[in-house]
Amino acid sequence: MVRLTIVEDDPAHLALLGQVAAREADFKVAGLHPSAEAALAVTDWKQVDVLLTDLELPDLSGVGLIARAVRDNPRLLPLAYTIHDQRETVFAALRAGAFGYVIKGGTAVELVEAIRRVARGESPMSPAVARYLIDSFRKELPPPEAGSAENLTVRETDLLRLVASGLVYKEIGCRLAISPHTVHAHVRNIYEKLHAVNRPQALRRARELGYLDPANASDESAN
């Protein structure tokens, strides 16, 4: 049984949410409140499993409500339910303690499933919100360290030395008795192993890792 408290400042929508939740056999509606203050005044948060709250509430915001409720019951599972998908609002709610973030406008079935998912320990997110989180995570990732590249094979090292000498794929193919297409495939694999996206970056990373003798390699700015 999921004990659910809902906070929504639109009276008609609050009533509708209450009706939707009451139809579910595994939900118990612990409270329906039009404001954060009303919810805080009467709710024993230790008796609530999931808090479904709008974020744009009069006076104390939904973000403030989440923070206060989680402080009283660290095991509470808040689910933000709002029209706002701005990055700042998303991260403010998550920092306050929200475990999920659902944009209004979906179906009742989708909302009920989001409540069940957060109660199961999952973190339901609308697609736009999930994208914000992925973008933020990628920006915080440190650049690959010099020693984090995969080891190049002897064949790949020899081929990379030919690339560094300024030879084109056809010339490299003749030297190694392979087709230009195969040369291209090897070069692509080398780039992936070195976490490089182009020739200058690959050569620079290879020199850092000791695969190339600077005296034998052409300048990185060459073709």
| pLDDT over 70 (residue 219) | no
CATH architecture of 2-140: 3-Layer(aba) Sandwich (3.40)
What are 79's strand-pairing partners?
52, 100
Of 83-87, 180-184, 205-209, give the lowest mean pLDDT range. Answer: 83-87
| pLDDT over 70 (residue 66) | yes
pLDDT per residue as tens digits for the range 79-92: 999 987 777 888 89
List every span in the chain annotated with CATH 3.40.50.2300. Answer: 2-140
Inter-residue contact 149 to 209 (CB < 8 Å) = yes
Fold held by 146-208: Arc Repressor Mutant, subunit A (1.10.10)
Distance separating alpha carbons of residues 90 and 127, to the nearest angstrom? 12
| pLDDT over 50 (residue 26) | yes
Distance separating alpha carbons of residues 157 and 152, to the nearest angstrom? 6
List every span in the chain annotated with CATH 1.10.10.10. Answer: 146-208
**Strand runs labelled E in 9-155:** 27-33, 50-53, 77-82, 100-103
Q: Is 138 exposed, middle or buried (0-12, 13-18, 19+ CB in 10 A)?
A: exposed
User: 0.75 cut: is pTM over it?
Assistant: no
Q: What pLDDT shows up at residue 222?
A: 38
Name the strands in the sheet holding 77-82, side by side, starting at the edge strand that comes first in the sequence.
27-33, 2-7, 50-53, 77-82, 100-103
